[in-house]
Amino acid sequence: MADAAIARTNAAPGEPSTWERLKVNRNWLGLWFMLPAMAFLVLFLVYPLGKGLWMSFTDARIGREGRFVGLENFEWLIEDRDFVRALIFTIVFTFVASVVKFAIGLYLALLLNNNLPFKAFIRSVVLIPFIVPTVLSAVAFWWIFDTQFSVITWGLVKMGLLDRGSPINWMGDPFMAQCVVIFANIWRGIPFIAITLLAGLQTVSPSLYEAATLDGATKWQNFRYVTYPLLTPIIAVVMTFSVLFTFTDFQLIWAMTRGGPVNATHLMATLSYQRGILGGNLGEGAAIAISMVPFLLAAILFSWFGLQRRKWQQGENND
């Protein structure tokens, strides 16, 4: 207030003071409006990330301050078979689930974009897997694929395709358990992609399809040269979020298998939790979590450079 008073005193008669000019300056006001958001991001994003990065270079344990050990945690992880297995399965899990979710989600979006009877009801039904709590859906899948009470096994026995005394060990076999958790993740992720792509399809003008049809374009050519180019930015954003959510999935895996059997379904997130929180080795758990960051940044940069390249092809400026 003192500075404002001095500024008003030094201003020439009839000219606005510095304080009065600041009050109507859009950049100055914008800075003040951004401060709460910046403080929120620093408190809940930058600080935890910095704290985790620091802990990954220490031998911190629960109840004990850690000492700086440099890259020792990361060097140890390279030789850890469980970590290498979790890293490989996380990449396979993310790739397979993301590709299948995109293929089915795009098909559903194109289907729901047509004039169907009970279209609003069908769209609501498609959203059900997305709104069901993760733990509830995990329990449902645990029951569906239970070794003794699996409804799939029961159906195969009733159809005569499986002997009653030789049930399928869905959750006890490492490979089968990996397939089950991938299937569950796909089931939960399809609605997000389908509804988001459907929203993008709603923005495509029908006149473009009419013009293409008059020029003799087939349905595939309509999709290839009209729908796909206009939908590319939305696809890039949706797939980026899908990859990030899938790569960092924790709740579904932990509720269904807790990383078992024999650590076959551990993702990097669940292994980090097991080592850091349950095992008490905070430094080791933080190192596993920090090891996920380069993969997440790669996914974001891949999407960003793809969008920039498309802008360059369309003659737009990079921003």
Q: What is the DSSP string of 132-151?
A: S-HHHHHHHHHHHT-TTT-H
- β-pair partners for 58: 68
| pTM summary value | 0.84
What per-residue confidence (pLDDT) applies to 17? 78
Q: What is the mean pLDDT of residues 199-227?
A: 90
Band (116; pLDDT cuts 50, 70, 90)? confident
CB 292 within 8 A of CB 283: no
Comparing CA positions, the residue from 25, 235, 252 lying closest to residue 133 is: 252
Q: What is the C-alpha to C-alpha distance for residues 96 and 183, in angstroms, rounded to an integer? A: 10
Q: Could you give the residue ranges of the DSSP H alpha helices within 11-60? A: 18-23, 26-41, 47-55
For 46-70, how does the pLDDT look when each residue is reduced to its tens digit (9 = 90+)?
999 999 999 999 999 988 888 999 9
Identify whether 81 is part of a domain.
no
DSSP state of 44: I
Q: What is the C-alpha to C-alpha distance for residues 294 and 299, in angstroms, rounded to an integer? A: 9
Identify whether 228 is part of a domain.
yes
What per-residue confidence (pLDDT) applies to 69? 92
What per-residue confidence (pLDDT) applies to 1? 45
Identify whether 173 is part of a domain.
yes
For 185-196, how does the pLDDT look when each residue is reduced to its tens digit (9 = 90+)?
999 999 999 999
Comparing CA positions, the residue from 39, 50, 114, 103 lying closest to residue 290 is: 50
Identify whether 48 is part of a domain.
no
Q: Which residues contact 121 (CB under 8 A, 6 or more apart)?
A: none
What per-residue confidence (pLDDT) applies to 309? 65
The domain of 160 spans 88-310
Identify whether 108 is part of a domain.
yes
Identify whether 142 is part of a domain.
yes
The rounded Cα 262 to chain-centroid distance in angstroms is 26
CATH number at residue 305: 1.10.3720.10
Q: What is the C-alpha to C-alpha distance for residues 8 and 124, in angstroms, rounded to an integer? A: 61
Identify whether 276 is part of a domain.
yes
What per-residue confidence (pLDDT) applies to 2? 47
Q: What is the mean pLDDT of residues 228-243?
A: 89
For 267-308, how does the pLDDT look when each residue is reduced to its tens digit (9 = 90+)?
999 999 999 999 999 999 999 999 999 999 998 888 887 777
CB 85 within 8 A of CB 306: no
What total of structural domains would you count in the chain?
Answer: 1
Q: What is the C-alpha to C-alpha distance for residues 53 and 283, in angstroms, rounded to an integer? A: 9
CA distances to 153, 155, 159, 173, 250 from 167, in Å: 6, 11, 14, 12, 29
Q: What is the mean pLDDT of residues 196-222?
A: 90
Identify whether 221 is part of a domain.
yes
Q: What is the mean pLDDT of residues 140-156?
A: 87
Please determine, for residue 206, whether its predicted confidence score (pLDDT) is greater than 60. Answer: yes
What per-residue confidence (pLDDT) applies to 149? 82
Amino acid at 226: V
